Structure formats: structure tokens, C-alpha cells
Structure 1
Amino acid sequence: MERNDQYGPGVAPRAAGRGRGHWRALAVLGTAQFLMVLDTAVMNVSVSQLVHDFDTQVTTIQAVITLYALVMAAFMITGGTIGDKIGRRRAFGVGLVVYGVGTTLTAAAPTVGVLALGWSIIEGLGAAMVLPALAALVAGTYQGRDRAVAYGVVGGLAGAGIAVGPLLGGWVTTYLTWRLVFAAEAVVVVVLLLLLRWIKAPAPSVRPVRLDGVGSALSAAGLALVVLGVLQSGTWGWLKDRNSPFTIFGFSITLFVIGAGCVLLYLFRLWERRRETRGEDPLIHFALFRIPALKAGLITLLNQNLILLGLFFVIPLYLQVVQGFDAFETGLRLLPVSITMLVAALSGPFLGRFASPRTVVRIGLGVMLASIVWLLSTIQPDIDDLSFAFAMALLGLGMGLLASQLGNVVQSSVEDADRSQAGGLQNTAQQLGSSLGTALIGSILIGALAAAFTTKVENNPEVSQAVKTQTGTALEAGIQFVPTDQVAAGLSSAGVPPAEAGHLVSAYAEAQLDGLKVAILAAGGLVLVGYAFTRHLPADRLGPPAPTG
């Protein structure tokens, strides 16, 4: 049954029993949300330093970043079910402990493999327990307009994480070490555990919930294969074999891996239907997807994070690899998007007095589209800092308008008993969008870079056929998004004559800008796609507060 107490035409009630400690729980929950976003932003802005510290490649760090979001996406639904089984506050606490272990290991990681274990896997599993419980605890603790305020604060703190992450991470990475951020996170986790009593434990479930192990395995494996295929498409090729570990009927394995993931997700759906038929606890009640507002909110959340994380992977590459800025300078140039996103996300309750969630989200998408068009004009060999700053500020404004509405839409669409599942679905959509965004936009970037570079080299009469053949052979092994001086050094060591090497370096520099523009343009296409899924978002404005006394 659809629940619409937040957006219906009636009166929005205030939470009862408001006292001096009414918002203490939100301080704990909001800080946890801040942490979950902060280290992702730190990772994105520290890509170049991580590549240097671990003597690896950009695509390796891209895989680590994607794996983190993938682990959360794969296990978020399971995390929500664990919250129903052991209690949401307990699940929140256990998840924080796991997350703390992961962030401690990340701070001390000696190799990129340990970094992936600590950050991508252990922290990801901890977050997969924390975030569904967090969403359900906010909804269970606050009612009516207070709930809208609470979700605005949580969304705003997520924006603050994006704000502080690039700047703090950039400064610490440039002048100290990125490891300090993760060490500090471990300390904050300990403080949150000490303050856990500020969160009122919800009433336990009347009926014990059994964890669906088979469903968890099928959903996790299916999601993993889909994202793996998208992630590796830039290396393996979509259809034509580029560097695929093996071929099937002469084609790259990319689409076959994605197809296998889709088959496993279909088997997951069949398995869940079977459990429901037999009266057993499913991992997901698929009947929830028949709630229009919930489904529209989830799809829009997925799309929002796909765009945001895709852009936040591409833009730091432009700033660091093309422009040569260090992590701190990169953070400064990303600050406008973060500030406006924070302000817009906190404006949710105020905007709800004048416009419906559907209207606010559509305006937000329009602002995002305008910002992407503006951003395209700033991708030049020499950056115009002022124009770039305004484009970033506009992007943050659009993102913040979406963030101000969507969490409340999802949680207000379901009954209390379904809030953990809704929280799991909400964060699955967000993290799946994040992992697919990084993988898809990154893949488009690398593919466009390779295509543009190949075309420019082939059409340049100053480059000999022998060098063109040598370059084509090198491209078959894969292409990396690296600084032009690294390309020049590679050409020199390969014995390419200096005059021809100069032409190749110039072609690569131009291809970098072309690839960046194609990737950003793809993000604009996703914004247009997002409009199609806003039709079922709530169309009623937030009602006035009920009289007190």
C-alpha cells in the first residue's frame, strides 16, 4: 500500500515529543552520512597521488573506486535485511565497527591490493549496513515536516562531504598525506559509537526475519558482473576485441559478461518470487516497485549518482592530468559545486512550501543540463578559472535540488515496516549509479580518447606509415589517460624520431580534450533521460504544519 503522508493534500504533522534532545540523533546519523561521502571525494581528488604512491595506473585506481561503490550496491539490500533481523540501531552500530576497521586498514595500506581490501571491500561492507539503517532510522525518528528537515540535513551533509572532500583531501594529499583523512575517520567512528545511545532503538520486529542467503548471492553476483563488464569495456572493447582476456565468436567478452550479470539478476527475481509464494522472507518485496513514487524516486537517485560520480571522475582528470594542478588546487576548483550543492540540499523544506518534489527535481535537472553545456565550453587547453567556477556552481545547484527531495520521497512512500528495505533500495540505487557512473563515463572517456587519437594520427601526413603502424600496435594493447610529458617520454624510449613524436604528443593532447568533451556530453544525455522518469514523483506540495497546543 502506498504511503504518502508527506506529500498528500492533507496536513503534514510535526513529530511529537520534541524536546532539547530532539535533534541529537540526527547529529549522529548526519555525521555518519558525511563520512560515507567524504572519503569517496578524497579518493577522487587524490587519483594522481595514489597512482604515484602505489606505482600503478589511473585505470587501477578507477577500479578501486568503482569496486567500493559496487560492494555497497551489491550488499546494500542485504544490509537492509540485516537491519530488520538484528534491529536498525544495532545494524547501524555493527556497520560502523566494520567501517572503522576498513578505514584503519586503508590508512596503513602498503600496496594497492591492501587499499582495495580496506577501502573497497571492508569499508564498502560496513557502509552497506550503515546506510540502509541510517535511512530507516531518520524516517522512524522524525515525522511530517521534521522528517523533511531531517532529510534535507542529511542531503546537505552529503553535499558537505563532497564540499570538504576535494578541499580537505586535496590539501592533506598535497602537503601531508591522504592517509591522515582515513585515520581521522577511524577516530570519528569511535566517537559515533560512543554517542549511539542518542538514537532511540525502534521497536523490534514482531516476527523474526530470516536472511535470504541465496538471494544475496544472486543479487551480488549479478550486480558485480554488470558493473565489471561496463568497467572493463574501455580495456576490452565493447564488441571488437581490444585487449579482452579471450574472445567469444571473435567478439570481446564485455557484452557477454554484462549479459551473464543480467541473467543472474533475472534468476534473483525468480528466486524472490518463489520465496514469497512459499511464505518465506524475500530479500526484496518486489511489490514495493508497484509504488509509483518509490520507483520514480529510486530511478532518479540512480540517474543522479550516475551523472555526479561520472563527472567527478572525469573533471579531476581534466584538472590534474591536462591542466597539471595538484590535489589541493583541484579541490579549490571543485569547491563551487560543493558549496551550492550543500545550500540547495538544505533548502528542501523551504522549497516544499512553494513547489512539489516533481517540480523541484525537474528544475534541478534543467539546471544540471545548463551547467553541462557551460562546462563543455570550458574544456580548453588553458582553463578559464572564472567560467569554470560558474559552471561548477551551477552543477552543484542542480544536484542539490535533487538531493533536497529524493530521500524524503523514497522513505515517505512506504510504511514503517518496509523502511529498511526502502533504505536498502535507496542506497543500492545510489551506489549502483555511482559505480556505473564511474565505469560508464570512464569507459566513454577512454574509448573517445582512443578513437580521436587514432583519427588524428592517421590523418597527419607528417607522421610516417611506420610510426602510424607502431602507434596502432600500441593502441591495441590499450590506452591510458596520462600527462603529455609521460607520452613524450614513452615515445622517446620507443625510438620515435623527435619531429614525429612532437606531432603525436600534440595529437594526444587534442584527443584528451575531445575525449573529455564526449564524456561530459554523455552525462548531459543522461540528464535528458532522467526527465522521462520524473512523471510519477509526488506532484503535491508539502502541507502546512499542524497547529500545536
Structure 2
Amino acid sequence: MKHWRPLIVLGTAQFLMVLDTSVMNVSISQLVEDFHTEVTTIQAVITLYALVMAAFMMIGGRLGDILGRRRLFVLGLVVYGIGSALTALAPTVWVLALGWSVIEGLGAALVLPAMAALVAESYHGRERAVAYGVIGGLAGAGIAVGPLLGGWVTTYLSWRLVFAGEVVVVAAILCFHRVVAESVRADPRPRLDVVGAALSAAGLGLGVLGVLQSSSWGWVQPRNPPFTVLGFAPTLFVISAGAVVLALFVHWERRRDAHGADPLVHLPLLSRPPLRSGLMTLLSQNLILLGLFFTIPLYLQVVQGFDAFQTGLRLLPVSITMLVTSMGAARLGRVMGPRRVVRLALVTLAAAIVWLLATIEPVIDDAQFAGAMALLGVGMGLLASQLGNVVQSSADEQERSEVGGLQFTAQNLGSALGTALIGSLLIGALANAFTTHVEQNPSLSDETRHQTAIALEAGVKFVPTDQVRSAAERAGLPPSEVDAVTDSYASAQLDGLKTAILATGGITLAGFLVTTHLPTARTGRPKHPESEDAADAPGPVR
């Protein structure tokens, strides 16, 4: 590598945005306390962040072609910095959602596709392969450093300082952005497909909203929805509306393409089997990862009572092994082929999830838990080492922004669905298990069972058992029944957590179905004609 300066600027941006999400995941309990809110509210904030990125990532990729990739990179960083500043000063959870989920999410949707394309423009041949490898390693470093750094700052200082520090880092990147070169485009720049952008954002938004709200609305039988549809919960109707809007989006894109207008996405890209399979596997990867990274901190913080720093320490094994494996396993794909490496990764993930299930107990076994986390990181690292390469290798130079937008859309849609779906399953399993434990507990009177059933109709929350004990005492229950209700809730917590983690295991096994068209060749070179540079360039990890 003769020219490191562009890579330092672009890599710092990648590191910053991965760090951001890692910090938020280990600060859940502190955010609940600071804003006097509930876990489900913070779940919604985290999901909204990933959803905003997923909804606008394709738009960001197209805007890079229209406005220029470096200009969009700078604009996205400015938006991201404004969001970070607002998040650091947020007085309420709604301002937190505006600053972090919406404004930072929009900034990231502009920065990431432009960054992927600028790496390809700045480096060629073997240098490009090294550059993408460094970008991927920095993403892994963000995952590794985020929980520990965020946990320490949250526990001993304030989580707000992390976002204040991001503003400083963004300002530093902006000071040196001119070291990143951008080639001059000779062909006419496309126009933004405004209707397609609106349809894609609305369709994705409705789909994820339905999944997210299923924990409070119910899937079929209404639990506590704002309205019902023919007596049923609105969840499936909202998800179906999202599917209809996305179908309209596909029809609109095909129509524009047929009339020679610029679509938001060239749908024929998705007819390339390696690209399609790579995108689906990326979605599955982030669904599993973010589902687990939402569930596991709840176990550590709410059930075990660890603070953010102690949580970060226990997540460190997965971060370290993911970083090391993702940086070292790229060569493995050249020997085994991407498809075999990805399938090996899925087998490793399934084994890690089974091991993790065995560690979800009232008293944590730190050694067993660390082993499961380390194995989980190996599986994730194997996936991360191959999928970016497969996706980026399916594009030629003119398609890099668009394919980068598709790549990060798949990743962030997986993140949004992971937090929403696994969180919903967790709350639903908690409610069912708590109901069962209360009904079967011989220490509880019929009156107590009746009071508990009424309370459950209003919705159940994932809270520390001390809060359940206090609520039972305020209800005037005798001490023996207070203990019985608290014990039933504690058992239901573990049942809910195991159900949610088991669901990620099911998604892992289902992931084998989308690996069929992953390349078996040495560098994942697809059959679609493309430049030699593209075939050798591993993509960034998010």
C-alpha cells in the first residue's frame, strides 16, 4: 500500500458507525433508567435506527451517483455529526430517537454506500483487496471495542460522552476528506426516482413496524393494540400492507426501466444468483447477530444485574474472535470457496447457540458463557470474511454505489428485523411462560392468579425481578405469595430468553437454504462479466 491517507479517512468513518451501534446495545439498562422508560421503548429506538438506514440506503447509493460520492460522503458526515450532537444532549427518549435513530441513521445511509464506492475508486488491483480487508478489519474492531468502551464510559462517566466524542471524530474526518480522490464521471448522471424512493421506504417501514409492534399488539388475537381489524390484531395487516407497497415498488421500477427512465434500483441486478444469495445471507447474518446482541445484554443486565461495563467485558470474547476470524479467514475462501466457508460458519453458529442455551441459568457460569461467546464470534467472523467479497464481486465499476446500497440495505434490514422479531418473540414467550408458571404454582391463591391475569392483559414487560416484587407488595399480596409470583416471573424470564435464542438457531439453520448460489470458485468470481479488480475485492463489514 503506497497511499494510506484515503484509507485512514474512510476506515475511520466505518469504525465510527459500527462503534455507535455496539455502544447502544450495552447501554440498554442505563437508558431505561435515565429516561424512566421501558426496555421495549429502547428496543424500538434501536430498531428504528437500523430501519432508517435500511429504508434510505438504496437512496443513498443512488444519490452518490447523482451528487458525487465524495460530496455525499461529506454531506452524510455532517448529518451524522448533527445527530450525534443532538443525541448527546437528548433530554427525553423521543429526542434520543430523533437524534440517534432518525438523523444519525440518515447520515449513515448517505455515508456507507459512498464509502464503499470511494474505496473502489481510490485503490486498484491488489491494493484494493488490501483496502477492503482493512475496512472489514476496522468494522470488526468497532464491534470489539464498542461494548467495552461503551460499557466503561456508560458505567463510570455517561453514555452521552460517547456521542459527544463522535462529533469530534466527525469534525476530524471532515478536515481531511480531500485526501479521498474521486474519479470524474463522463457519462450523464442519473435522476433520483422519487416515487420509487418513497415506495421502498414506506414498504420497508410498514413491514418492520408490524414486526416490532407484535409484542404489544399481538399477532392474531389483539393484546393491547390502538385499533383492531375485523376483531383481529393489526399486526399481520400492517405487515401485509408493507408487502403490497413493496410489490408496487417492484412494478414501478420495472416500468421505469422499460421506459428508459432511471430507476432507484436496477432490478436485473438481483437476477445474478451470487449477488442475490449474498444479499440474503447478509440479511440472515445481521438478523442473527442483532437478535442475539439485543437478547444477551438483557440477560446480563436485567437478569444477572451487571452494569454496562461488566456486560461489555462478558461480550468481549465474541468481539475479539469475530475480529480475528474476519481478518484471517479471507484466505480460507480462496482454498475452500465462499459457499463452503459460509456453511461452515452456519454450523459453527448453530453449535454456539446450543452452547449458549445451556448457559442461560439463574447464576451465570462465566467460563461456559465466555466459551459460547467466543465460538459465536468465530462463526460471525467466518461469515463476515466472505459475504462482502461475494456482493462486491458481482458489480462492475458503474454499479458499485448501487450494489453498495443494496448491501447495506440487506444488512440493516436484517438488523432491524433481528431486534424487532427476536424482541417480539422474547416478550411473547415471557408472557406465555409467566402465565403458565402462575397457573401451575400451588402456592398462589385463585384471587392472586386472577389479579395476575388482569395485569397481563395490559402487557408484560422485561424488567428486573425487584420491580415485580415491589408491584406484588403494592397489590397487598401476602409475603409467601409475593415470593411465589417473583419466582414465577424469574423462571419465565429464563424461558423467554431461551425461546428467543432458540429462534436465532432456527434462523441459522434456515440460512442454509439461501447459500445455494454462493460461489464455489476460489475468490467467488461470478459468471457475470466484470473487472478483475472487482473479483478480488473483499467488501466492508457492517
Q: So what's the TM-score if we normalise by structure 1?
A: 0.94
Paired residue type of 1:221: A
Sequence identity of aligned pairs in percent?
A: 68
Write the deviation string for residues 264-297 of structure 1: whole angstroms up to 9, x where unpaired: 1111111111111111100000000011111111
Judge which range, 141-150 or 270-279, deviates more.
141-150
Q: Does 1:77 align with 2:64?
A: no
Which stretch shows the higher mean deviation, 537-546 or 144-153? 537-546
Any conservation in 1 of the 2:337–2:524 contact (CA below 8 Å)? no
Match of 2:169 in 1: 188
The 1:362–1:150 alpha-carbon spacing in structure 2 relative to 1, beyond 3 Å, is farther
Letter in 1 for 2:145: V
2:312 aligned with 1:341, yes or no? Answer: no
Aligned to 1:46: 27
Of 247, 267, 270, the match for 1:289: 270
Contact 1:151 1:404 (C-alpha < 8 Å) held by counterparts: no
1:516 equivalenced with 2:497 (yes/no): yes
- Map 1:94-243 to 2 at 5 A: 94-204=75-185, 206-243=187-224
How does 1:349-388 map onto structure 2 within 5 Å? 349-388=330-369
Output aligned runs, 1:253-272, within 5 Å: 253-272=234-253
Asked if the contact 1:151/1:407 (under 8 Å) is kept, the reply is no
Deviates more, 1:48-57 or 1:351-360: 351-360
Which residue does 1:488 correspond to in 2? 469
1:477 — aligned with what? 458
SS at match of 2:410: helix
Change (3 A) 1:543 1:497: closer
Distance 2:147 2:20 in 1: 9
**Shift, 1:533, TM fit:** 1.0
Partner of 1:327: 308
Q: Deviations over 1:306-355 (max 9, x none)?
A: 00000000000000000000000000000000000111111144323422
Structure 1 runs of 4+ aligned residues shifted over 6 Å read: 543-546
Deviation at 1:469, TM superposition (A): 1.2
Q: Is contact 2:121–2:181 with CA below 8 Å preserved after alignment?
A: no
- Once the two structures are overlaid, the 10-residue window that deviates more, 410-419 or 204-213, is 204-213
Which residue of structure 2 aligns with residue 86 of structure 1? 67
Whole-Å Cα distance in 1 between the matches of residues 214 and 146 of structure 2? 29
Alignment partners' CA distance in 1, 2:151 and 2:332: 33
- Counterpart amino acid of residue 518 in structure 1: T
Preserved contact between residue 148 and residue 408 of structure 1 (Cα < 8 Å): no
The correspondence for 1:461, drawn from 442, 445, 449, is 442
Tell me the alpha carbon deviations over residues 84-103 of structure 1, each in whole angstroms, 9 at most, x when there is no partner: 10111111111011001100
1:432 corresponds to: 413
TM-fit CA distance, 1:405: 1.3
Q: Which runs of 5+ in 1 are unaligned?
A: 1-17
Deviation at 1:417, TM superposition (A): 0.9
Q: Is the 8 A contact 2:15 2:139 kept in 1?
A: yes
SS of residue matched to 2:514 = coil
Task: Provide the rounded CA distance (Å) in 2 between the counterparts of 1:142 and 1:397.
Answer: 29
Judge conservation of contact 2:122–2:182 (CA < 8 Å) in 1: no
Once structures 1 and 2 are overlaid, which stretch shifts more, 36-45 or 326-335?
Answer: 36-45
Contact 2:35 2:93 in 1 (8 A): yes
Q: Matches of 1:542 and 1:307 in 2, distance apart?
A: 25
Confirm or deny that 1:405 pairs with 2:383.
no
Judge which range, 357-366 or 281-290, deviates more: 357-366
How far apart, in 1, do the equivalents of 2:476 and 2:18 lie? 45
- Give how far 1:157 is off: 1.6
Deviation at 1:153, TM superposition (A): 2.1
Q: When the two structures are aligned, how many residues end up with a matched partner?
A: 527
Residue 274 and residue 57 in structure 1: after superposition, are their counterparts in 2 closer, same or farther (change >3 A)? Answer: same
Cα offset, 1:145, TM superposition: 4.0
Displacement after TM superposition at 1:174 (Å): 0.4
Shift of 1:543: 9.9
Counterpart Cα distance in 2 of 1:237 and 1:520? 20
1:156 is displaced (CA, Å) by 2.0
What is the identity, as a one-letter code, of the residue corresponding to 1:207? P
Q: Conserved in 1, the CA contact under 8 Å of 2:281 and 2:511?
A: yes
Match for 1:243: what amino acid?
N
C-alpha displacement of 1:441: 0.4
Is residue 152–residue 405 contact of structure 1 (8 Å, CA) maintained in 2? no
In the other structure, the counterpart of 2:528 is: none
Do the aligned residues in 1 keep the contact of 2:350 with 2:508 (CA within 8 Å)?
A: yes
- CA distance, structure 1, for counterparts of residue 431 and residue 108 of structure 2: 36
Once the 2 structures are TM-superposed, how far is the Cα of residue 494 of structure 1 from its aligned partner?
1.7
Q: Distance in 2 between matches of 1:386 and 1:491?
A: 35
Q: 2:255 aligns with which of 249, 274, 278?
A: 274
> How many angstroms apart in 2 are the aligned matches of 1:238 and 1:518?
17
What SS class does the counterpart of residue 354 from structure 1 fall into?
helix
Post-superposition shift, 1:540? 1.0
Secondary structure of 1:532's partner? helix
Aligned counterpart in structure 2 of residue 64 of structure 1, from 31, 36, 45? 45
2:299 partner amino acid: Y
In structure 2, stretches of 5+ residues that fail to align are 526-531, 534-542
Aligned residues of 1:149 and 1:349 also touching (Cα < 8 A): no
Q: How has the CA–CA distance of structure 1 residues 333 and 371 changed in structure 2, closer, same or farther, with 3 Å as cutoff?
A: same
Secondary structure class of the residue paired with 2:182: coil
Tell me the distance in 2 between the aligned counterparts of 1:353 and 1:300. Answer: 19
For the residue of structure 1 that corresponds to 2:335, the secondary structure is: coil
Note the alpha carbon deviations across 1:247-276, whole angstroms, 9 max, x for none.
111110000010111111111111111111
